[in-house]
Amino acid sequence: MFNRELSWLSFDRRVLELAEDDSVPLLERVRFLSIVSSNLDEFFEIRVAGIMQQEESASHPATKEFLASVLQRTRDLVHAQQLCWRQKLLPALSAHGIEVLAREQLGDSARTELSPRFDRDILPALTPLAIDPSHPFPVLTNKGLYLLALLRDPASGELRRAVVPVPRILPRILGLSDCKSFTFLSQVIQLFIHRLFPGLELQGSWAFRITRNSDLYVDEEEAVNLLEAIEDEIRNLRKGAPVRLEIEADVPEGEMQWLLNSIHLTSDNAFRIPGPVNMLRLGSLIDMVGRPDLLYPNFVSVIPPECSEPTKLYERIAEHDIILHHPYESFSPVVDFIRQAAKDETVVAIKLTLYRTSGDSPVVEALKEAARNGKQVTALVELRARFDELNNIEWARQLEEAGAHVVYGLAGLKTHCKACLVVRQEKDGLRRYAHLGTGNYNPKTARIYTDFSLLTCDEEITADVGLLFNVLTGNLAGRSSSTSSSRPSTWQDASWNSLKPRRLTPKPASPRRSSPRSTASWTLRLSTPFTKHLRRGVRIELVVRGICASNPVSPARVIISAFAASLVASSNTADCSA
């Protein structure tokens, strides 16, 4: 097995390789570079934070050594990311007439243009925070952008320090009037930051950001109200322990040490950045540039003929099951499935699991409409969907206000399945229709993630979906399902059984292969039967999106860690005869 943290970093290195690849459209390379930063943010918030907690609570030297190894690997990755930006992407952008200017590259004309913009659009939003005995060091927001200013009082010669928070509402990249030149907000603030401190001499200023432990720790057995407990924990996250400092590379060592001491972090977790401190914000440059010729060709999902008329969608499902392969086939039939149910007078009940969705979710709006129309609506909202906790709490409250029944799943487990059950009153009685998917009910991500959707009214499948909802909403043990399995209670056993050696023993005239697909690392329990099959001559191909802890160990075992324009998010297993 590969180490999970090191595999995560290896995956991020592969994302960076796409940013380095000259065959990838230029602005897509910029996007991939920003994704590396997004991934690293989560890596520190969750994985490094966990290792640091283990290191603090354990005396075993291996934990400390492993943390040092992870930080060094991360440092190497960040160094390669910055080199890619400076040596590859900046020259390539310039060759296409797009200039991203550092502070020292902003000439007199640019400064003349930016000066009134700073006074009008930026200065009023800035609040300098002095640091002295009467002004203690402030609590800094997780991943917020800040400037550390070193100042000198000309009368006394005393050195002073201040921290300037940069409001999140301000755009991080600014365009100049020539429509081809851009610069970072932090660079502009640093040009004119002295205007915040009249009467003091500016000795220097440096952009920085702090990453904090962002893992939620909620004792579900002790919590009286899970929603309120998670809300309280989210409020405490702004005070989570710092796990990383990113700061501009030219900061003097003494100033960096002062900052590290103030946030109680060691220099091992400090990263000097010789470029943009937060490359995640480079993603906004893509829209500002307006150069579709530097992007992947525009892709339009197709709508299958049987789904072309939303008002007749249930008639088509009654005729035969419909399988959709996203993003090649549109996600709109799934939205139509829920929208039509909200309007259909024959619909009695709608049940749906909600893990992640878009900010303007048509799915949630359809559920609210259905509840207002008097239908029994039950929504299982997963409050512990990482980094979407607040969004889901808001959706839960909106649904409750509309009259829906909202539940939060099973204690100790995340509800990650994507299922919707619609019950209609038809001529022959009540009939159930279901949607089962591998991806979230999010029309936006459905345009970039590869997933499957099944629309069906098969009696066995819909009965199992009904049972699933009864288990989730009633916290029941329930009987076993006949057509499906759910994680973690039965899925691993089902996967184990599907890979039994007697099913995958190759015949001389008919070699066999197994092609499972997964969204993350495979467990040791599933790796064990794979190894047995390899010894029997079975070729195994794993397609894994994201980190993979499974070691190939054999030429007959092929692992494809997929990352491209469309992300593999579906999970399935194919037992194929060649």
* DSSP structure string for 440-481: -S-TTGGGTEEEEEEEE--HHHHHHHHHHHHHHHHT---PPP
Report the percentage of the chain scoring pLDDT > 90: 58
Q: Indicate whether 254 and 214 sit together in one domain.
A: yes
Q: Which two tokens stand for residue 109?
A: 């004309």
User: Last residue of some domain: 427, 446, 474?
Assistant: 474
Which of the pair, 394 or 83, is modelled with greater confidence? 83
Confidence of residue 382 (pLDDT cuts 50, 70, 90): confident
Residue range 478-502, pLDDT digits in tens: 555 555 555 455 545 555 555 554 4
What span, in angstroms and rounded, lies between the C-alpha atoms of 237 and 45?
10
Q: Which two tokens stand for residue 22?
A: 């000259």
HSE-CB for 500 with a 13 A CA cutoff: 6
Q: Indicate whether 104 and 223 sit together in one domain.
A: yes
pLDDT tops 90 at residue 437: yes
| pLDDT attached to residue 295 | 95
Within a domain: residue 484? Answer: no
Within a domain: residue 553? Answer: yes
Q: Indicate whether 440 and 558 sit together in one domain.
A: no
Q: Indicate whether 396 and 524 sit together in one domain.
A: no
> What amino acid occupies position 431?
R
Angle at 255 between CA 162 and CA 117, to 5 degrees: 45
What span, in angstroms and rounded, lies between the C-alpha atoms of 128 and 164?
5
| pLDDT attached to residue 408 | 78
Chain centroid to Cα 443, Å, comes to: 15
Q: Residues 74-99, buried b or exposed e (16+ Cβ, 10 A)?
A: beebbebbbebbeebbbebbeeeebe
Q: Indicate whether 373 and 425 sit together in one domain.
A: yes
Are 538 and 512 in contact by the 8 Å Cβ rule? The answer is yes
Q: Indicate whether 186 and 311 sit together in one domain.
A: no
- Decide the pairing of beta strands 449-456 and 429-437: antiparallel
| pLDDT attached to residue 573 | 41
| pLDDT attached to residue 576 | 33
Measuring CA to CA, which residue among 102, 116, 88 is closest to residue 195? 116
Are 552 and 432 in contact by the 8 Å Cβ rule? The answer is no
Confidence of residue 258 (pLDDT cuts 50, 70, 90): very high
Give every CB contact of residue 393 below 8 A, 6+ residues apart in sequence: 227, 230, 231, 383
Within a domain: residue 486? Answer: no
| pLDDT attached to residue 228 | 62
**Mean pLDDT of all residues in 52-67:** 74
> Angle between the 362-372 and 389-402 helix axes, to the nearest 10 degrees?
20
| pLDDT attached to residue 557 | 46
Q: Indicate whether 244 and 276 sit together in one domain.
A: yes
Among 326, 416, 435, 533, the active-site one is 416
Count of domains observed in the chain: 3
Confidence of residue 368 (pLDDT cuts 50, 70, 90): very high
**Mean pLDDT of all residues in 450-475:** 91
**Mean pLDDT of all residues in 79-105:** 96
pLDDT tops 50 at residue 224: no
Q: Indicate whether 226 and 320 sit together in one domain.
A: no
Residue 449 backbone phi and psi in degrees, to 5 = -100, 140
Measuring CA to CA, which residue among 548, 545, 557, 551 is closest to residue 517? 545
| pLDDT attached to residue 7 | 87
Range of the domain at 573: 491-577
User: Last residue of some domain: 474, 500, 519?
Assistant: 474
Q: Indicate whether 402 and 314 sit together in one domain.
A: yes
**Mean pLDDT of all residues in 174-198:** 95
Return mean pLDDT, the chain: 83
Residue range 118-145, pLDDT digits in tens: 999 999 999 999 998 888 899 899 999 9
pLDDT tops 70 at residue 199: yes
Within a domain: residue 248? Answer: yes
| pLDDT attached to residue 472 | 84
Are 253 and 263 in contact by the 8 Å Cβ rule? The answer is no
| pLDDT attached to residue 480 | 53
pLDDT tops 50 at residue 187: yes
What is the full DSSP assignment across 248-264? ETTS-HHHHHHHHHHHT
pLDDT tops 90 at residue 391: no
Q: Residues 397-430, buried b or exposed e (16+ Cβ, 10 A)?
A: ebbeebebebbbbbeeeebbbbbbbbbbeeeeee
Angle at 454 between CA 442 and CA 486, to 5 degrees: 85
Residue 513 backbone phi and psi in degrees, to 5 = -145, 150
Confidence of residue 54 (pLDDT cuts 50, 70, 90): confident
Q: What is the pTM of this model?
A: 0.80
CATH number at residue 401: 3.30.870.10
CATH number at residue 68: 3.30.1840.10
Confidence of residue 53 (pLDDT cuts 50, 70, 90): confident
What span, in angstroms and rounded, lies between the C-alpha atoms of 213 and 68?
18
Confidence of residue 550 (pLDDT cuts 50, 70, 90): low
pLDDT tops 90 at residue 466: yes
Q: Indicate whether 242 and 112 sit together in one domain.
A: yes
Q: Which two tokens stand for residue 181?
A: 């030149």
What span, in angstroms and rounded, lies between the C-alpha atoms of 54 and 525?
25
Measuring CA to CA, which residue among 80, 50, 48 is closest to residue 244? 48
Q: Which two tokens stand for residue 404?
A: 């829906």
Residue length of the chain: 578
Q: Which two tokens stand for residue 83?
A: 């080199």
Residue range 324-367, pLDDT digits in tens: 999 999 999 999 999 999 999 999 999 999 887 776 789 999 99
Give, in order, the Cα–Cα distances in Å from 561 to each of 15, 75, 284. 11, 23, 27
Within a domain: residue 368? Answer: yes
Q: Indicate whether 79 and 156 sit together in one domain.
A: yes
Give every CB contact of residue 182 below 8 A, 6+ residues apart in sequence: 98, 99, 100, 101, 173, 174, 175, 176, 285, 288, 289
Are 184 and 191 in contact by the 8 Å Cβ rule? The answer is no
pLDDT tops 70 at residue 37: yes
User: Last residue of some domain: 440, 474, 508?
Assistant: 474
Within a domain: residue 300? Answer: no
Q: Indicate whether 435 and 536 sit together in one domain.
A: no
**Mean pLDDT of all residues in 303-312:** 95
pLDDT tops 90 at residue 81: yes
> What amino acid occupies position 374?
G
Within a domain: residue 78? Answer: yes
> Angle between the 26-42 and 61-83 helix axes, to the nearest 10 degrees?
160
Within a domain: residue 482? Answer: no
What span, in angstroms and rounded, lies between the C-alpha atoms of 26 and 56?
43
Q: Is 416 a catalytic residue?
A: yes
